[in-house]
């Protein structure tokens, strides 16, 4: 009898199943009422009294062993473990690594939110543009250097089709299509044919704002700039305007803010001046309004444009532009929880 039990044990130990039906067949063969283990139990009656103890124990062990074997064969075929290969799929997974929002997205969203509070709506335009929207309508003279091959990426060497070099092209698109009052903000990517370095890249991001209505004055522009600077960099921020030139605005200015790193005292970042430049702006040139069939005798407007990377640089002290497009997770991880 003991020999029979150990033979059966060896047989069960060698069982292998490819599917659940086979496992069920094993269960019936060994463990059901009419199975081989039950048959042993029936024979137990005939075991001599002095062997009953040892045989009874052996049968019980065999029964447990058969039950365990059938269960583990079944488990290995239902998803609980990876076919017995030791991979336990019921374990809790490793902690999830959450992504972060890109610093440029954070800054862009913040700029948009500020202008939205002033009633500006978002407008977008194509990145592949034509000369009219990027240059001609914006009062760029035929021989303006910005049209030059060195600055502008042309598509298929066609001087008419190009990658926009600034988001000012969206101004024209909106003014052509809508009647004033117009109050828009245009975020987007722009391209320039520059050698890539820490300070220049062949693409970057801008946000443009345009307000056209009756009686829009330079005072409206100034108020908007002051509000923007205070919201973006804190209430203590001072602004100053320096006269400048853009073909599409007259008069034109560049805006500096008091250096937000040294608070205006002068440091390496602001090169000791206490001021840092952040955007260009001005009153929309009457020629631009005319090009878009808006009567400059009735309407006036202001426009401004800024680089998102520039603002991010000031806010987060990122001074190598290349970091923004390399997507090194060690860099991106620094912005976890920023918003």
At which residue do the structure tokens 């890109």 appear? Answer: 102
Query: What gap in Å lies between CA 108 and CA 113, rounded to an integer?
Result: 9
Binding range to ligand DAH, per CB under 6 A, among 14-22, 103-111, 222-230, 278-286: 278-286
Decide whether 162 or 303 has the Cβ nearer to ligand DAH: 303
Integer angstrom CA distances of residue 219 from 103, 300, 308? 32, 12, 25
Q: Taking contact as CB under 6 A, which single stretch among the options 49-57, 257-265, 275-283, 311-319 is the one that binds ligand DAH?
A: 275-283
CB 310, min distance to ligand DAH, A: 11
| Secondary structure of residue 6 in the 3-state scheme | helix
Asked if 249 touches ligand DAH (CB under 6 A), the answer is yes
Decide: 242 and 333 in contact? Cβ < 8 Å.
no
Rounded to the nearest 10 degrees, what angle do helices 103-117 and 308-316 cross at? Answer: 110
For ligand DAH, the closer of residues 100 and 224 by Cβ is: 224
Site string for ligand DAH, 140-169 (x = CB under 6 A): --------------------------x-x-
Determine the Cα–Cα distance for residues 43 and 62; give it in Å rounded to an integer: 15
DSSP 195: -
Burial class (CB in 10 A: 0-12, 13-18, 19+), 110: middle
Residues in contact with ligand DAH, counted by CB under 6 A, come to a total of 11
- Which residue, 281 or 321, has its beta carbon nearer to ligand DAH? 281
Interface pick for ligand DAH out of 40, 291, 304, 312 (rule CB under 6 A)? 304
Nearer residue to ligand DAH within complex by CB, 26 or 248: 248
CB of 164 to ligand DAH, least distance (A): 10
Where b means 16+ CB within 10 Å and e means fewer, 149-184 reads eeebeeeeeeeeebbbbbbbbbbbbbbeeeebebbb
* Smallest distance from ligand DAH to CB 246, Å: 5
CB of 167 to ligand DAH, least distance (A): 7
Query: With CB under 6 A as the contact rule, which of the stretches 64-72, 81-89, 127-135, 300-308 interacts with ligand DAH?
Result: 300-308
Cα 62 from Cα 6, distance rounded (Å): 8
Nearer to ligand DAH, 44 or 245 (CB): 245
Please identify the residue of the shown chain whose CB is closest to the bound ligand DAH: 305
Q: Can you give the binding site for ligand DAH, defined by CB under 6 A?
A: 166, 168, 208, 246, 249, 280-282, 303-305
């Amino acid at each position: 009898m003991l020999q029979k039990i150990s033979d059966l044990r060896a047989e069960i130990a060698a069982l292998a199943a490819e599917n659940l039906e086979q496992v069920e067949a094993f269960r019936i063969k060994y463990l059901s009422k009419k199975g081989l283990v039950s048959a042993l139990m029936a024979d137990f009656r005939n075991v001599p009294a002095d062997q009953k103890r040892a045989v009874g124990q052996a049968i019980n062990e065999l029964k447990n062993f058969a039950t365990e074997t059938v269960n583990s064969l079944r488990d290995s075929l239902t998803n609980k473990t990876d076919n017995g290969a030791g991979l336990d799929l019921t374990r809790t997974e490793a902690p999830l690594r959450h992504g972060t929002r890109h610093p440029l997205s954070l800054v862009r969203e913040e700029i948009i939110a500020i202008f939205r509070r002033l009633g500006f709506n978002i407008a977008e335009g194509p990145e592949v543009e034509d000369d009219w929207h990027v240059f001609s309508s914006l009062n760029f003279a035929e021989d303006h250097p910005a049209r030059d091959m060195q600055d502008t990426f042309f598509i298929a060497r066609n001087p008419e089709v190009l990658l926009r070099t600034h988001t000012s092209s969206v101004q024209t698109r909106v003014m052509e299509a809508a009647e004033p009052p117009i109050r828009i903000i245009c975020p987007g990517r722009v391209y320039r044919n520059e050698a890539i370095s820490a300070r220049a890249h062949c693409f970057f991001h801008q946000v443009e704002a345009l307000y056209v209505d009756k009686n829009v004055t330079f005072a409206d522009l100034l108020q908007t700039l002051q509000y923007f600077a205070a919201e973006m960099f804190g209430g203590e921020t001072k602004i100053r305007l320096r006269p400048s030139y853009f073909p599409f605005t007259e008069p034109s200015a560049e805006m500096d803010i008091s250096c937000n790193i040294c608070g205006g005292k002068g440091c390496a970042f602001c090169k000791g001046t206490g001021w840092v430049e952040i955007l260009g702006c001005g009153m929309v040139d009457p020629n631009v309004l005319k090009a878009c069939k808006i009567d400059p005798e009735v309407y006036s407007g202001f426009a401004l444009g800024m680089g998102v990377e520039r603002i991010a640089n000031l806010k987060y002290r990122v001074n190598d532009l290349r970091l923004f497009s390399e997507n090194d997770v060690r860099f991106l991880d620094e912005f976890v929880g920023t918003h």
